[in-house]
């Protein structure tokens, strides 16, 4: 039996089509993937992401303990800011990609992927020095309100002014009477918030947001739209585009790696890899012949397999068949061409600038 989130009954009430995702029963869509995708790009969408896990480092030395495990640098941001980061193994591969919130140097809150919850927590517990991380996943539901109308909807339900809560900043406060961590983050490429709240009040918050956003055209949105939205942004999905073998440097995520930090787990491997040069790079491409690229399709150059597609779809906003995949560095520059093998036949592809989608 898959696990359920506190919003399971709400999904059923809204006729969500429930599927098993990483052991969780979640809606892949409600009314339809494309309308939900478009609502997020033009109005607002509401996602249940309660399956994500939360781990907290608390007490003296919390920042140092967490910082030693992640690639980004919590010492460089202020309290009330968050960073996207890698959690790496000693070979430089991803244990997970995470968002770390700095409440204070004594309190670091980390959001991890659903599929990696148990693994991450065990990993952090085993490798953390000085502070013992606590798994707080059961204490939080998480709702993502995303889209150009998201800010207004959340603000109208919150007495605290949120203008000062810029991108990758967060605060705490009541939204619709529910105490939340209010984070200006997301996985769609649109403005919006991710709201962490007590599971018992998730449904209250969910329906309050839908009600408040009615006039703005908010819709509940499923995992399908979440995936097409993030693919158009070339945001990595753990298990597809990044995994325990590929490093952040190969994944084009050098910006989340702070090699000038004295130490973090996986740093030595990255320093070596950087010196030796990369053997592959994650690129975004579009097909210039009919077809839709999908994960695991081979990437061919001159008939030889040189890489593999890690994500792909027909982008509802960009209206093109787009894909993400690892290729040799010689094929990574914008404008490079190769083929994607689709059901035994090669379809021409060209490396393009990413994100595939840009606002406005």
Partner 1 sequence: MANGEYPKDLKYTKDHEWAKKAGASVQVGVTFHAQDALGSVVYVELPKVGTTVAAGGQFGVIESTKAVSELYAPISGKVTKVNDAVVNNPSLVNEAPYGGGWLVEIEPSNAAELDGLMDADTYTKSLG
**Site residues, partner 1 (CB under 8 A):** 28-29, 32-34, 37, 224, 227-228, 290-292, 294, 313-314, 316, 321, 343
Residue with smaller CB distance to partner 1, 157 or 223: 223
Asked if 77 and 65 touch (Cβ cutoff 8 Å), the reply is no
Nearest to 64 by CA among 107, 111, 97, 95: 107
* Least gap, CB of 336 to partner 1 (angstroms): 24
CB of 33 to partner 1, least distance (A): 5
Q: Which is nearer to partner 1, 176 or 225 (CB)?
A: 225
- Kindly state the smallest distance separating residue 314's Cβ from partner 1, in Å: 4
User: Nearest distance from residue 313's CB to partner 1, in Å?
Assistant: 6
Place of tokens 């490798």: 127
Neighbour tally for 254: CB within 10 Å: 16
CB 175 within 8 A of CB 154: yes
Which among 131, 5, 157 is positioned nearest to 69, based on CA atoms?
131
Q: How far is the CB of 223 from partner 1 (least distance, A)?
A: 9
Does the CA dihedral 247-249-251-253 come out positive or negative? positive
Our CB check for partner 1 shows the closer of 278 and 314 to be: 314
Q: Closest approach of Cβ 342 to partner 1, in Å?
A: 9
Of 222 and 284, nearer to partner 1 (C-beta) is 222
Nearer to partner 1, 25 or 212 (CB): 25
Cα 206 to Cα 27: distance, rounded to the nearest angstrom: 14
Element (H, E) at 270: helix 267-276
Nearest-angstrom CA–CA distance, 144 and 99: 14
Instruction: Give the contacts of 323 (CB within 8 A, at least 6 positions apart).
Output: 284, 285, 286, 287, 293, 294, 297, 309, 311, 312, 313, 340, 349
Q: Which is nearer to partner 1, 37 or 102 (CB)?
A: 37
Instruction: Output 37 or 184, the one with its CB closest to partner 1.
Output: 37
Distance in angstroms (rounded) separating the CA atoms of residues 5 and 9: 9
Q: Distance between CA 140 and CA 52 in Å, rounded? A: 9
CB of residue 228 to partner 1, shortest distance in Å: 6
CB of 30 to partner 1, least distance (A): 11
Q: In the chain, helix, strand, coil percent, each to 5?
A: 25, 35, 40
For partner 1, the closer of residues 263 and 343 by Cβ is 343
């Amino acid at each position: 039996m898959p696990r359920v989130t506190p919003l399971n009954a709400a999904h059923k009430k809204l006729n969500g089509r429930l599927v098993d995702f990483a052991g969780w029963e979640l809606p892949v869509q409600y009314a339809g993937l494309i309308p939900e995708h478009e609502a997020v790009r033009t109005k607002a969408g509401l996602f249940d992401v309660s399956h994500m896990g939360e781990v907290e480092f608390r007490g003296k030395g919390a920042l140092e303990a967490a910082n030693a495990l992640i690639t980004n640098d919590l010492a460089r941001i202020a309290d009330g800011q968050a960073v996207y980061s890698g959690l790496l193994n000693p070979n430089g591969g991803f244990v997970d990609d995470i968002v770390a919130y700095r409440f204070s140097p004594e309190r670091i809150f980390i959001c991890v992927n659903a599929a990696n919850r148990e693994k991450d927590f065990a990993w952090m517990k085993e490798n953390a020095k000085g502070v013992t991380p606590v798994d707080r996943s059961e204490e939080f539901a998480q709702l993502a309100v995303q889209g150009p109308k998201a800010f207004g909807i959340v603000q109208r339900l919150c007495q605290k002014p949120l203008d000062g809560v810029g991108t990758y900043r967060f605060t705490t406060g009541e939204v619709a009477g529910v105490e939340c961590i209010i984070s200006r983050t997301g996985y769609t490429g649109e403005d919006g918030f991710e709201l962490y709240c007590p599971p018992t009040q998730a449904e209250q918050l969910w329906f309050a947001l839908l009600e408040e956003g009615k006039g703005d055209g908010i819709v509940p949105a499923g995992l399908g739209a979440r995936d097409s939205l993030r693919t158009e942004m070339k945001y990595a999905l753990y298990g597809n585009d990044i995994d325990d073998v590929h490093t952040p440097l190969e994944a084009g995520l050098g910006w989340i790696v702070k090699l000038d930090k004295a130490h973090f787990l996986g740093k030595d491997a990255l320093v070596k890899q950087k010196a030796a040069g990369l053997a592959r790079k994650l690129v975004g491409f579009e097909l210039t012949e009919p077809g839709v690229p999908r994960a695991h399709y081979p990437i061919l150059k001159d008939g030889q397999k040189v890489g593999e597609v890690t994500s792909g779809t027909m982008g509802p906003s960009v209206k093109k068949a787009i894909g993400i995949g690892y290729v040799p560095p010689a094929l990574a520059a914008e404008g490079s061409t190769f083929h994607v093998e689709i059901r035994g036949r090669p379809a021409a592809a060209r490396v393009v600038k990413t994100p595939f989608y840009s606002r406005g």
